Amino acid sequence: MVTGKAGKSGFGSASTAEDVTHSIDAKHLTAIITGGTSGIGLEAARVLGMRGAHVIIAARNTKAANESKEMILEMYPNARIDCLQLDLSSIKSVRSFVHQFLALNFPLNILINNAGVMFCPFQLTEDGVESQFATNHIGHFLLTNLLLDKMKSSSKESGIEGRIVNLSSIAHTYTYTEGIMFDGINDPDRYSDKKAYGQSKLANLLHSNALSRKLQEEGVNITINSVHPGLVTTNLFRHSGLGMSVFKAMSFFLWKNIPQGAATTCYVALHPDLKGVTGKYFADCNVTTPSDFATDISLADKLWDFSTKLIDSLP
The pLDDT value given to residue 232: 78
Average pLDDT of the chain, as a whole number: 93
Structural contact between residues 150 and 115, judged by C-beta atoms closer than 8 angstroms: no
Choosing from 76, 174, 191, 197, the catalytic residue is 191
Q: List, for residues 16-68, the tens digit of each pLDDT value.
A: 999 999 999 999 999 999 999 999 999 999 999 999 999 999 999 999 999 99
pTM recorded for the entire structure? 0.93
Comparison of pLDDT for 232 and 223, the residue scoring more: 223
What is the DSSP-derived secondary structure letter of residue 160?
P
CA end-to-end span of the chain: 45
What is the DSSP-derived secondary structure letter of residue 126?
T
Q: List, for residues 226-265, the tens digit of each pLDDT value.
A: 999 998 765 554 444 555 454 444 444 456 999 999 999 9
The pLDDT value given to residue 231: 85
For residue 233, give Cα distances in angstroms to 75, 254, 265: 23, 11, 16
Question: Does 176 participate in catalysis according to the annotation?
Answer: no
Q: List, for residues 171-199, the tens digit of each pLDDT value.
A: 999 999 999 999 999 999 999 999 999 99
Surface-to-core class of residue 291, CB atoms within 10 Å of its CB (0-12 exposed, 13-18 middle, 19+ buried):
middle
17-312: CATH number = 3.40.50.720
Q: Where do the structural domains in the chain lie, given as residue ranges?
A: 17-312
